[in-house]
Amino acid sequence: MRKIFGYSHREQHWADELHVFNRKHLIPFINYHRPCYFPTTLSDDKGKERKQYPYDKMMTPYQNLKSLDRTGDYLKGTLTFKILDNEAYKVSDNQAADKMNLAKKRLFKQINEQKKACF
């Protein structure tokens, strides 16, 4: 979250708008469109475990969920992978990033304009 919002203080009355941005734009982008490294653990002769992050294990969290065994056990109620696929593949990765960045710019513009109006 700090990577997106920065380290400066956000006033409490912006919490609702930030929460809406997170739920509507940021979380879907991270889960469906932003690739992450998933480690493999290797043990040496002495029993020390080391993590490696191979390039072929890079995938989105949603793709990683689909790659697990017995994935249906992890879904709630009537949620299916068909529903999640429709959400994930509704837009391309670049389009999702553009939408998220545009929403972030609008939110920060609104926050900054109010700060300037207060001074």
What is the pLDDT, as a whole number, of residue 1? 66
State yes or no: pLDDT of 5 exceeds 60: yes
User: Considering the chain, what percentage of its residues have pLDDT values greater than 90?
Assistant: 58
Average pLDDT, the chain: 88
Q: What is the pLDDT of residues 39-96, one digit of tens each?
A: 999 998 888 999 999 998 899 999 999 988 888 788 888 888 999 999 999 999 999 9
What is the pLDDT, as a whole number, of residue 119? 57
3-state secondary structure labels for all residues of the chain: CHHHHCCCCCCHHHHHHHHHHHHHHHHHHHHHCCCECCCEEEECCCCCEEEECCHHHCECHHHHHHHCCCHHHHCCCCCCHHHHHHHHCCCCHHHHHHHHHHHHHHHHHHHHHHHHHHC
For residue 13, the 8-state DSSP code is G
> Which band of pLDDT confidence, cut at 50, 70 and 90, is reported for residue 116?
low
What is the pLDDT, as a whole number, of residue 7? 78
State yes or no: pLDDT of 118 exceeds 70: no
